[in-house]
Amino acid sequence: MAITIEKAKRIKELPTYLFTEIDRKKKEALARGVDLIDLGVGDPDIPTPPKIVEKLMEGASKPVNHRYPSSAGLLQYREAVAIWYQKRFGVKLDPEREVVSLIGSKEGIANMAIAFVDPGDIVLVASPCYPVYHIGTSFCGGKNYFLPLVKQNHFLPDLDAVPAGVARQAKMLWINYPNNPTAAVAEKDFFARVVEFAHRYNIIVCHDAAYTEMGFDGYRPASFLELEGAQEVGIEFHSLSKTFNMTGWRVGMAVGNKDLVSGLAQVKSNVDSGIFQAVQEAAIEALHLGDEIVEPSRRVYQERRDILVSGLRAAGLECEKPRATFYVWVSAPKGLTSAQFTAKLLDEVGVVTTPGNGFGEVGEGYVRFTICVAKERLREVTERIRQVRF
């Protein structure tokens, strides 16, 4: 007789993971024979550059790489990260104490809560957002306090609106610029306010910087760590996933304050065994090549952005032209909720998008489109949407 299996409370209280639900709806549509165009998930369709793949193949043939790696990452990889940060942002990092490798930034973001959030701790989360920020808090018994990102404030959190009592109790603040899902960007004056806020209330700042290399029209997003005093309060998460079209490779890094990096590394040493060293060697090659392989991707995404934005506007939809990321944050037509707009696009014209409220309640009224399909398909998307009556 089978035993009764009871999931942990933390699992039972989880909302359905956003992209799991999207996958379910896609499968249903495909089973009906719908020709789907999937603009729902931010997964680059451009292949990983050949030079990186070649480096992986070379590394995979070395017996030394067939053994356990260091959970903190190869020193050579961490040195490559430090060199890239110095070259790209002018930020100096000690590769031994201020850099830790990640099995993709998602893993590091989740483990940050394990390292620093105790039951009852308040974590400030700018929302709508990547769900892992607040899920990590919830897993550790912390309390999320959401800071709304609204159009009137250029999708930046209003730090002055945080009650002083909440700020004094807060342990951590999560921000993400260029932003997913809104595609908003933050300039250095905003980061300076974040640094001042963190110093005033003794708050750890966690900045997810995964999209800094996806800037358009010559725009080069900043690192939070460029600001004076930032390394005293903060840690920045970055990834090779979006930058080098390596989402499936699972390799990233966290950099910044040595005590924050050390705490995260301590968790990792207890729960994972690091990244396959051949992947790290390929990542070193990617960081070394830098803009040589990133710039062609930027040009592709910029062209796609222009096609999608102009087509959506021609169809009567309201959206800003993003300066960075490969997302377009589109207002739902009057009278439709985010979910209704998403369902209408899927059911009537086979276009998959993501409802904004899936990223947080404040995202209601918006839908996120990605530009991770070929430009010809994006043109088809805009033609299909013109057929929809809103």
According to CATH, what is the number of the domain 11-47+292-386? Answer: 3.90.1150.10
User: CATH number of the domain at 50-290, please?
Assistant: 3.40.640.10
The CA distance from 56 to 276, in Å, is 10
Report the C-alpha gap between 137 and 12 in whole angstroms. Answer: 15
Spatial separation of the C-alpha atoms in residues 8 and 165, rounded to whole Å: 32
Q: Distance between alpha carbon 82 and the CA centroid of its chain, in Å? A: 21
The whole-number pLDDT of residue 24 equals 80
Per-residue model confidence (pLDDT) at position 17: 64
User: Tell me, what amino acid is at 74?
Assistant: L
Question: CB neighbours (10 Å) of residue 192?
Answer: 15
The residue count of the chain comes to 390
How big is the chain by its Cα radius of gyration, in Å? 21
> If you ran DSSP here, which 8-state letter would residue 46 be given?
S
Predicted local distance difference test score (pLDDT) of residue 19: 66
Q: How far apart are CA 275 and CA 185, in angstroms?
A: 31
Domain map (residue ranges) of the chain: 11-47+292-386, 50-290
Return the axis-axis angle of helices 258-271 and 105-116, rounded to nearest 10°: 100
225 is written with which tokens? 């760590």
Helix%, strand%, coil% for the chain, nearest 5: 50, 15, 35
CA distances from 28 to 34, 161, 350, 357, 366 (A): 9, 43, 11, 22, 23
pLDDT mean for each 10 residues of the chain (390 residues): 87 74 79 89 92 96 91 92 98 98 95 97 97 94 97 97 97 98 98 98 98 97 97 97 93 98 96 94 96 95 98 96 97 94 92 94 96 97 91
Tokens of 383: 């033609």
Give the pLDDT confidence score for residue 28 in this predicted structure.
84
Nearest Cα to 182, choosing from 211, 158, 160, 159?
211
Write the CA distances from 205 to 114, 213, 219, 231, 257, integer angstroms: 15, 21, 24, 9, 10
Residue 205, token pair as written in the block: 């700042």
Per-residue pLDDT at 18: 63
pTM of the model: 0.95
Tokens encoding 168: 């004094």
CA–CA distance from 271 to each of 136, 174, 208, 274 (Å)?
15, 23, 22, 9
The DSSP bridge partners found for residue 255 are 99, 236
The secondary structure of residue 316, as a DSSP letter, is T
With CA atoms as reference, report the closest residue to 175 among 142, 216, 203: 203
